[in-house]
């Protein structure tokens, strides 16, 4: 928790969490990470899941399908190919 409190956060202005939140809130934030059961955390794949989300592949391909640019089978094939290439 001490290391988390020193972690710089922000986009335009960076500051340690401890300058933005009370210790009790930092404890809640860190505690929530221990109970996470989505996005590959339990499987040790959080890094891969983050890369998949950040690639925007899912959003982009679903948008192409919704806009009738590609068929559902093409969307599945394209998504499988793009996601499989992410390491």
Report the alpha-carbon distance of residue 23 to residue 28 in Å, rounded: 9
- The answer on 50 and 25 residing in a single domain is no
Between these two residues, 33 and 61, which has the higher pLDDT value? 61
Number of domains present in the structure of the chain: 2
- The answer on 85 and 49 residing in a single domain is yes
Between these two residues, 45 and 77, which has the higher pLDDT value? 77
- The answer on 20 and 4 residing in a single domain is yes
Instruction: Look up the domain containing 3 and give its range.
Output: 1-35
What's the rounded mean pLDDT across residues 34-60? 83
The closest alpha carbon to 4, from 12, 13, 20, belongs to 20
The pLDDT > 90 percentage for the chain reads 40
* Residue 15 β-bridge partners: 9
Tokens of residue 30, six digits: 């860190």
- The answer on 79 and 60 residing in a single domain is yes
Report the alpha-carbon distance of residue 61 to residue 52 in Å, rounded: 13
- Give residues with Cβ within 8 angstroms of 24, minimum separation 6: none
Tens of pLDDT along 15-39? 888 888 888 988 888 777 666 666 7
The pLDDT > 70 percentage for the chain reads 92
């Amino acid at each position: 928790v001490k290391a988390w409190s020193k972690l710089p956060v922000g986009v335009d202005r960076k500051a340690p969490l401890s300058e933005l939140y009370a210790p009790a809130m930092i404890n809640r934030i860190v505690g929530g990470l221990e109970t996470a059961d989505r996005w590959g955390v339990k499987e040790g794949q959080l890094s891969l899941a983050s890369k998949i989300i950040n690639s925007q592949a899912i959003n982009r391909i679903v948008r192409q399908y919704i806009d009738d640019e590609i068929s559902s089978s093409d969307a599945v094939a394209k998504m499988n190919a793009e996601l499989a290439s992410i390491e």
